[in-house]
């Protein structure tokens, strides 16, 4: 007795239908052409804009470098307290100073509206006085600021003077001379706003009351406030 068994019939896979070709109209190609042209034009415009922006930035930077004002340079030339050799010299004490102010700019002038000099010892003022009248300093020019403190402009009592004398016995007395001035920069016909400038000069005097060589002709730090 034979059992009947039928093999499953495998269906043959049908190939996918061919893609339907769409016929594009002339309007479509014209639209694509316009989009491509607009893209190229926008890229060109962006490139030109970025180039002009870079060029303007370079010109501005070069002008800034050439017109950027440099702060004046100060050097202490002389500083002395002749009476420091006397134990009671504070009664006729006098401080002499000589400082130079240099305008290092080639095309920029400096207006000094007011200038004051003060002398400090141990972070305390021992005298102050106005110096010079308002003046204009041309490019590459040097001005001498000199004067003296004595009498009412020098506030030194006996206790402070004895501190000077004590330091003198150690070989040196350390002072700080500060030049304060309100200045303006002149660039062609344009004047800048006013700036308060400070120049701090370290002045060390020896046992004879004269400035030491280590301080003489030393450049003074300058800052604005």
| Mean pLDDT of each 10-residue bin along the chain, 225 residues long | 54 63 60 66 80 79 66 97 86 93 94 96 94 93 95 89 92 96 89 94 95 96 94
CB 103 within 8 A of CB 109: yes
The helices-and-strands tally (H runs, E runs) of the chain is 2, 11
Q: DSSP for 132-172?
A: S-SEEE-TTEEEEEEEEEEGGGB---HHHHHHHHHHHHTT-
d(CA 110, CA 174): 31
Pairing of strands 195-205, 222-224: antiparallel
Opening angle at CA 91, ends 123 and 208, nearest 5: 70
d(CA 201, CA 7): 112
Q: Helix (H, G, I), strand (E, B), or coil: what is residue 187?
A: strand
Q: Tokens 């440099």 identify what position? A: 70
Q: Sign of the CA dihedral 122, 127, 130, 136? A: negative
Q: Sign of the CA dihedral 204, 208, 210, 213? A: negative
The listed CATH number (2.60.40, 1.10.3470, 2.50.20, 1.20.81) that belongs to domain 73-224: 2.60.40
d(CA 12, CA 198): 99
CB atoms within 10 A of CB 225: 7
Q: Which pLDDT does position 121 carry in this prediction?
A: 95
CB 198 within 8 A of CB 225: yes
Question: What is the Cα gyration radius of the chain?
Answer: 41
Q: Which pLDDT does position 74 carry in this prediction?
A: 98
Q: Helix (H, G, I), strand (E, B), or coil: what is residue 34?
A: helix
SS (H, E, C) 192-203: CCCEEEEEEEEE
CB 215 within 8 A of CB 183: no
Q: Which pLDDT does position 62 carry in this prediction?
A: 59
Q: Which pLDDT does position 132 carry in this prediction?
A: 87
């Amino acid at each position: 007795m034979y059992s009947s068994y039928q093999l499953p019939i495998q269906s043959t896979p049908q190939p996918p239908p061919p893609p339907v070709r769409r016929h594009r109209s002339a309007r479509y190609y014209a639209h694509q052409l316009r989009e491509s042209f607009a893209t190229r034009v926008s890229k060109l415009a962006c490139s030109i804009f970025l180039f002009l922006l870079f060029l303007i930035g370079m010109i501005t930077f070069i002008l800034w470098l050439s017109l950027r004002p440099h702060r004046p340079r100060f050097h202490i030339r002389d500083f002395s307290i002749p009476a420091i050799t006397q134990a009671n010299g504070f009664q006729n004490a006098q401080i002499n100073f000589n400082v130079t102010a240099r305008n290092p700019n080639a095309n920029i002038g400096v207006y000094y509206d007011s200038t004051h000099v003060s002398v400090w010892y141990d972070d305390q003022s021992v005298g102050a006085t106005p110096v010079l009248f308002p003046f204009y300093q041309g490019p590459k020019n040097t001005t001498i600021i000199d004067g003296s403190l004595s009498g009412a402009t020098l506030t030194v009592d006996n206790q402070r003077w004895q501190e000077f004398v004590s330091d003198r016995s150690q070989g040196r007395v350390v002072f700080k001379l500060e030049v304060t001035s309100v200045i303006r920069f002149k660039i062609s016909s344009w004047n800048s706003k006013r700036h308060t400038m400070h120049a701090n000069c370290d002045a060390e005097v020896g046992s004879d009351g004269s400035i030491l060589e280590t301080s003489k002709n030393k450049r003074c730090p300058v800052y604005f406030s």
